[in-house]
Structure 1
């Protein structure tokens, strides 16, 4: 009989976190308790009363040692999905990104050691691997592909890489009661699906049709339900007797078409049609982005100016960069739960409901 486990999900009221909560409740009959942590809490109206009996929702900051020690006490698994995502570029300062994404993760890992939590699954990002500052391409890379990561293209990616390294370094550390901490990080690309307010923003921008990416550039996207599944499979593996044997990092994707990043949103909305030609030469777009960066620097003492376009956005839109998940399929038994057709239709239905409302 499967063991009963107590889960803590950070960012559990957010986009990915809410899908994790629902999937865990639907797929797990042997949950002792499910603790959902977020800075902005909300209800889960679609869950039945029996499921809600095991659900505890906490309003908390992952950087608070005292608060998180209390919440993590007695838990078996932490799935850490809380993160600051810097979009548009400049929404957060480098200090804010580092404080939440790195120090917050470090605090949770230390809480695991103090409270004897034995499994920690971290939501990383493909941005933690690349593209780098030069925009070097990588096609079908794996977790060990040689790639210069000495300087990544974004402050967000740098913060996720640093947090990912902490997760790797903590693997096998001894907890307070003498046990071993089992950790791993999952690297999805851009996540789409029901509940993604970012996708709504992307679509509004994409409706203008202005192309800022070369047509031959390719990237991966992944459906949120399949990312949630990968997290639960990773947690199950880490909680098993041989959990310490699993690798510390796994790439995650599904059968969503590998396509141009801008053109991807044509799949999700009939109102999106990206122009065939670039709106301006790429060199000129980069020059404009540099001017905006200078303006942002000059205004920093007075206000947080968020540029309409940045070097990082242009670099990501014009760099072919995507990874494979062969190792996750082999080690975690990961296979997408939702097909591309299902993922697309569920997302389109949600987007239409939001735009109609």
Structure 2
């Protein structure tokens, strides 16, 4: 079946997850417009077939929306550093809440069909039970979790007032190619950098904390699936599997054939102890499920970065 060509705006399209979404959209013959302020996104991540605007989501976006008949917005741009959110909650909320509201105003003014919004497992806070489904209590323990959850309410009310369709995707822990190990990188990107440099990784806490790691290509595929499915739904995007940080180190040692030992430091504020997300709803509503096991995703990531060292 031929894909219908749509015009899709991807915010944060030069970033880690956003750039993979852009690539998959272009592979599926969509016209893609990117808005990115390059605070963390990189020009080298950009697909040359995308139309790119160096703008912040808090900026005047009239030039973008007036030039293109944008049908879908896939909203990835965000402040994603939990520790930064705790140090500067005003900046965190300005980007994640005010920036999103600004974007939604343009979506309603220019009759966008649908917004696919990247939320986070951080909205759940400390789990009351595992695995976490979409009915779990929302109780964030970091300002980042608050600032990712708040736009979910805005989306619901924008939808009710202005008939703007949406799907909210709550990501588990993303990893993969193009994730920056510096600054706000996830644990896997930081560890990959350490392993390929022959340095011992640092674990905050005892390493028994668990996460649900989902590969970036799988996340990108979920966003494309949400363009035509999951109307007004909140959906977990995950592998439905928990892996401890200590297990992650062991797996990386096996893949790279090294014997590095972790250094342990004090647990950080705002870090959740155990987490994994149930993905049954994604399978049912989006007809999506992860194609990569953690081992497969790590091998692909290591293979990519080996060429850079």
Q: Under a length normalisation based on structure 2, what TM-score does the superposition of the two structures give?
A: 0.83
Alignment of 1:134-283 (within 5 A): 136-145=127-136, 147=137, 149=139, 152-174=140-162, 180-197=163-180, 198=185, 199-203=188-192, 207-208=199-200, 211-214=203-206, 216-237=208-229, 246-254=231-239, 258-268=242-252, 270=256, 273-274=260-261, 279=264
Measured in 1, the distance between the counterparts of 2:68 and 2:101 equals: 17
CA contact (8 A) 1:39 1:60 kept: yes
State whether structure 2 residue 289 is matched by structure 1 residue 348: no
Consecutive unaligned residues of structure 1, counting only runs of 5 or more, are 175-179, 239-245, 287-309
Measured in 1, the distance between the counterparts of 2:63 and 2:80 equals: 21
CA contact (8 A) 2:7 2:72 kept: yes
User: Aligned in 2, Cα 1:75/1:311: closer, same or farther, shift over 3 Å?
Assistant: same
- Structure 1 equivalent of residue 17 of structure 2: 16
CA contact (8 A) 1:15 1:196 kept: yes
CA contact (8 A) 2:85 2:143 kept: no
Q: Tell me how large the CA RMSD over aligned residues is.
A: 2.8
Equivalences, count: 293
Q: Under a length normalisation based on structure 1, what TM-score does the superposition of the two structures give?
A: 0.73
Q: Deviation at 1:258?
A: 2.0
Measured in 1, the distance between the counterparts of 2:306 and 2:158 equals: 43
1:276-334 CA distance string (max 9 Å, x none): xx947xxxx46xxxxxxxxxxxxxxxxxxxxxxx3123xx2xx1122111111101111
Q: Deviation at 1:262?
A: 4.8
CA contact (8 A) 1:65 1:111 kept: no
- Structure 2 equivalent of residue 56 of structure 1: 51
1:30-51 CA distance string (max 9 Å, x none): x2x210111126266776xxxx
- Structure 2 equivalent of residue 241 of structure 1: none
CA contact (8 A) 1:81 1:123 kept: yes
- More divergent stretch after superposition (246-255 vs 322-331): 246-255
- Structure 2 equivalent of residue 243 of structure 1: none
1:73-107 CA distance string (max 9 Å, x none): 52100000001111554686111110001111111
Measured in 2, the distance between the counterparts of 1:320 and 1:24 equals: 34
* Equivalent in 246, 265, 275 of residue 321 of structure 1: 275
> Whose radius of gyration is greater, 1 or 2?
1
CA contact (8 A) 2:211 2:244 kept: yes
Measured in 2, the distance between the counterparts of 1:75 and 1:144 equals: 32
* Equivalent in 27, 32, 35 of residue 33 of structure 2: 35
CA contact (8 A) 2:205 2:264 kept: no
